[in-house]
Amino acid sequence: MVKLFIRERLSWILFFFIIHFFMLFIAYIDESIPLSSILYIVFLSSIIFLIFCVFRYHKETKFYQKLKDEEDFFDSSTLSHPLRPFEKIVQRNLMQQLEQTKKDGVQTLLHVTQEKDELLAWIHEIKTPLTAMHLIIERLENREVKANLTFEWLRIHFLLDQQLHQKRIFFIENDMYIEHLDLESLIFTEIKTLQAWCMQKNIGFDVDLQAERVLCDAKWLSFIMRQLLTNAVKYSEESDVTIRSYEHRGQVYIEVKDNGRGISPQDMPRIFEKGFTSTTQHEDSRATGMGLYLAQKAAHALSIHIGVQSALNEGTTFTLAFPKSNDFVDMKSM
């Protein structure tokens, strides 16, 4: 702040020294003026000027130092009270901009909330014709046509489901109920949804559930499993997807292993990033880059750690590590 003050008052300081230099120069060329007296005057005035600068520095920089150190500009009560006219101008402009920013923020929030509500309403409305479409597809006798239509129906269903949970993910704490879940029922429900798609790709499931129950939220755990199973089926061909659960040192683990195309080492650090698909299969138009991102967000809210091991063209294993029962005490109160 000292450097800024000197730069701000540099013209005044230069003017002071120029005037004194001019006085010394006059005394030097005019013998009738005693040079020693002028030097004494310059010395005293320089000391007085220095004291004056120090005083003005503490007086003038207090308001601006407070602005510089301010962390929350939206709290106008923390601003220093202006004492000088220029400070009052600065504060008045800041307050006007602050009020305008708050108004714009409120309008933006209302607009975003309205759009979110409209989108959620649309998703719920679209489910009715989607359900009717599924019933019509089930009545078809041509197996090839039925399989193709079911596959496309599943794609629409999963995209809508992903969009619905994407809008809810920011309010997951308000939509959470921790309870003991039967893993067999939950997992087989998700597998059944993928049945037609798996039959089309000749993919089976090898399920080994040594740990039969887990403490978690049913809706969001189903969503996480849906994303992992969908990825496993999407990137596999004519192979089995292995699902197993076990307990180790008081923690429950669920593994989802496929023998698909795998993930390249350069992509591994980015697979949970929003919108990231792949650098090796960048032309794949089926990928949205949202599934694993949303699964990671939901898992984080549930204190579930998602681990991944993969080798290119060999397959991928995702591991869900659930917290110990004692760690759910705080989450139960939500």
Average pLDDT over residues 82-105: 75
pLDDT tens-place string over residues 232-248: 988 888 889 999 999 98
- Residue matched to tokens 């719920």: 124
Is the model more confident about 205 or about 85? 205
Q: Are strands 213-217 and 178-182 parallel, antiparallel or unpaired?
A: antiparallel
What's the mean per-residue pLDDT of the chain? 82
Per-residue pLDDT, 334: 45
Is the model more confident about 294 or about 276? 294
Per-residue pLDDT, 333: 42
**Span of 5-9, 224-228, 260-264 with lowest mean pLDDT:** 5-9
Per-residue pLDDT, 282: 52
pLDDT band (50, 70, 90) for residue 321: very high
Average pLDDT over residues 113-133: 78
pLDDT band (50, 70, 90) for residue 308: very high
Average pLDDT over residues 302-313: 91
Above 90 in pLDDT, residue 255? yes
Above 70 in pLDDT, residue 193? yes
